[in-house]
Structure 1
Amino acid sequence: MAVGHEIVQQQRQRDPEHGGGGESSGKDYTDPPPQPVLTASELRRWSLYRAAIAEFVATLLFLYLTVATVIGYKRQAESDASGCGGVGVLGIAWAFGGMIFLLVYCAAGISGGHINPAVTLALLQARKVSVPRAALYVAAQCLGAVCGAGLVRAIHSPDAFVRLGGGANAVGDGYGRGTGLAAEVVGTFVLVYTVFSATDAKRNARDSHIPVLAPLPIGFAVFVVHLATIPITGTGINPARSFGAAVVYNQARAWQDQWIFWVGPLTGAAMATLYHEHVLRASAIKALGSFKAG
């Protein structure tokens, strides 16, 4: 192991682009191979189901803590005539971003810590997960979201839960559905772009001595997107989060706008995947050769 470490250090010293200044073109990182689209053998592995359980529990905890924060803030604001009660929009944004940071940190070594169907489908598009794994993850995330929102409802009276909005996403007053859709597309683009950048093999090789580096920017991306879009849509950027809250809240307004919280995030995730994988990392170009002049 020590010899291998010394070889890597020597490569960095020789290669200006990869940590040094010389003639060698050796890389100090290795891109993971593309995952097969369909693989029956994966369905026989306990590790797949363990990862799905981790996604279920993580999404359940995410919905429980964040929806409880939203409901608690609205309940305090309702009883405080000054309007200063509760954590406010800033506190809600911190709750969402902080929970993503914690849960990605906890689940990353087991399932990758997706906690979001948009992230899962972006990684499927990038050939980083297989179709069976992606399908199982999305199902686990949606089920976990419903259970998490259900726990919040269980600790509040049904009337209060419905009156306070149930933590469900909907386009805000004064905004059109087109604006809401655009906010979800851009917000999810920021999130998924951050996910790809934070988990890039090249970056991991440089920053492996900082184990929290990947979860931290992902959580911070969720935080800043919430600050920008809470007034517009309540901030979805996660179809499971929006779906789980809508199922438990079960009011017409949440279902009328539900399509925005699927189409927007999935579109933003697809755009971020294309940008990172095929523009920044030039995967398609590498597959075909290069643009070198003959």
Structure 2
Amino acid sequence: MATEDVEVADITTEHTGNHQRRKRRGSTPAVASRPFAGRIGGNAEFTLSPDDASFKSVVSRLPDAAATFSWAASFRLTGFADVELWKEATIEGIGTCLQIYLAGLYAIGLGRAGAATALGPIAPAAFGAVSNFLLIALFVYAGGPVSGGHFNPLITMAAFFARLAVFPRTVLYVVFQCAGAVVAGLLVRVSLGEAPASLRVIPGCYIDAAVVTPGQAYVLETMSSFALIFIAFGVGLDPRQRDVFGPALSPILVGLSVGLCSFATGVARPGYAGASLNPARCLGLMSAAENFEYHYIHWFGDITAAMLNGILYWAIPIYKT
């Protein structure tokens, strides 16, 4: 072997040895990921154990760092003073903005293609379902380690009613999600350079009041949102699933559930362009269109679904009592 090759081999060996010694000494920086019971894909892997030395001090500031907590602890307002919680809410706002910007672009494009094929709304609904599946899964993967990867008031409110997220986190997340959604909607309008009236028919947010009654829209929104939460909680937030497939597959399964629900509701009823499944998305895109007809149903239906899911988890609790 040449002298140069021996020197390179020695340097490589020395570098590898130094790296292994640093790992043994614990010099690798600790990962900055705070425990949170409502983290999608976490399956309670990232909650704080009562045996942890810092358990009492952490839970006193933010009770949802633990697997279980009381309603009284949930409504403790000290969480609003937690700077890290505001940072996590900011990530929720930015992530929601980026997600809805992309979702708005392909929703508008697909909505205009509804009459382009003999299949009518089926083709754009199918493309939209696949797009939603990929979009949601990737964003959950991206935001999950920091904020829990909600990017949707429906998920955040459902986590609150199931006692997986405390009241301060719920309020901050929903406010930042809605703010990010409105910014995204306005950016979509600016990007396309179109008048608000041309953005009214958006899949998932448009309901023809002349064809669909408020009662029909409410039932469609409530039941599809409840189905989404039922699946999302079962595959993404139930700690019993960690023994089945672990946390890594959960975002993909949550994305699939969103795609399935959006497709089912997008082809079923004339005059109904699909369930919202995310009231912040419709808030942002309807702000861009300057049209809020039936928008209250996107909230009432989702809140009802979140409460039904909370009752279900109260009747059949995750943990033994």
TM-score, structure 1 as length reference: 0.75
Query: What letter is aligned with 1:239?
Result: P
* Secondary structure of the corresponding residue to residue 192 of structure 2: coil
Alignment of 1:75-86 (within 5 A): 75=112
Residue 242 (1) aligns with residue 282 (2): yes
Distance 2:113 2:244 in 1: 46
Matches for 1:259-278 after TM superposition, within 5 Å: 259-275=296-312, 277-278=313-314
Find the residue that maps to 2:282 and give its secondary structure: helix
Amino acid at match of 2:309: A
1:214 CA displacement: 1.4
Q: In 1, are the aligned partners of 2:188 and 2:288 still within 8 Å (CA)?
A: no
CA contact (8 A) 1:50 1:110 kept: no
Letter aligned with residue 184 of structure 1: E
SS of residue paired to 1:170? coil
What is aligned with 2:251? Answer: 215
Q: Which moved more, 1:225-234 or 1:34-43?
A: 34-43
- 2:232 maps to what in 1? 195
Q: CA RMSD in A?
A: 2.7
Query: Does the Cα contact within 8 Å between 1:75 and 1:164 map onto a contact in 2?
Result: no
Paired residue for 2:166, among 124, 130, 141? 130
2:69 aligned residue: 34
Q: Residue in 2 aligned with 1:52?
A: 89
Alignment of 1:102-181 (within 5 A): 102-159=138-195, 162-165=197-200, 167=202, 169-172=205-208, 174-181=211-218
Counterpart of 2:190, as a letter, is: A
1:95-148 per-position Cα deviation (integer Å, ceiling 9, x unaligned):
222211111111111111111112111111122111111100000110111111
Distance 1:204 1:148, change over 3 A: same
CA-to-aligned-CA distance 1:9-36 (integer Å, 9 cap, x gap): xxxxxxxxxxxxxxxxxxxxxx812262
Distance 2:249 2:242 in 1: 9
* Residues 1:185 and 2:185 aligned together: no
Number of aligned residue pairs: 247
Which amino acid in structure 2 is aligned with residue 220 of structure 1? L
The 3-state SS of whatever aligns with 1:212 is coil
- Contact 1:188–1:268 (CA under 8 A) maintained in structure 2: yes
What's the offset of the Cα at 1:84?
Answer: 8.5
Taking the aligned partners of 1:40 and 1:148, their CA distance within structure 2 comes to 30
> After alignment, is 219-228 or 88-97 more displaced?
88-97
- Other-structure match for 2:24: none
Shift of 1:205: 4.0
Query: 1:168-188: per-residue Cα shift (whole Å, max 9, x none)?
Result: 713246332211111111111
CA deviations over 1:203-234 (Å, ceiling 9, x no partner): 124433xx432111211111011111124243
- More displaced 10-residue stretch of structure 1: 38-47 or 178-187: 38-47
Unaligned runs of 5+ in 2: 1-65
Unaligned regions of 5+ residues in structure 1, if any?
A: 1-30, 288-294
Verify the 8 A CA contact 1:237 1:264 in the aligned structure 2: no
Identity %: 26
1:38 maps to a residue whose letter is: F
Distance 1:200 1:138 in 2: 22
**One-letter identity of the residue aligned with 2:239:** A
CA distance in 2, matches of 1:126, 1:74: 35
Q: Name the CA shift for 1:120/1:84 in 2 (closer, same or farther; >3 Å).
A: closer
Q: Which has the larger radius of gyration?
A: 2
